[in-house]
Amino acid sequence: MALTTINGAACAKCKFFDTEATNESLGLCRYNPPISQPSGDQAGVWPKVEASDWCGHFEPVAA
């Protein structure tokens, strides 16, 4: 059974979803700062999320 949200909230419709670095169905969540990596010589990364994912931080994209 798939979980649904009120008004179809999904990462693809969220202002924190960034598809510039990936494709239409996969993106980066820019809500929180990048996650640091175990080795100090690697840059931090943002979590990868599916366009159909959702969370409690959803904010719609401004029209």
What ranges do the domains of the chain cover? 6-50
Place of tokens 């649904």: 4
- pTM across the whole model: 0.74
pLDDT tens figures, 6-61: 677 899 999 999 986 556 789 999 999 998 888 777 788 899 899 999 898 999 98
Which pairing describes strands 48-50 and 26-29: parallel, antiparallel, or unpaired?
antiparallel
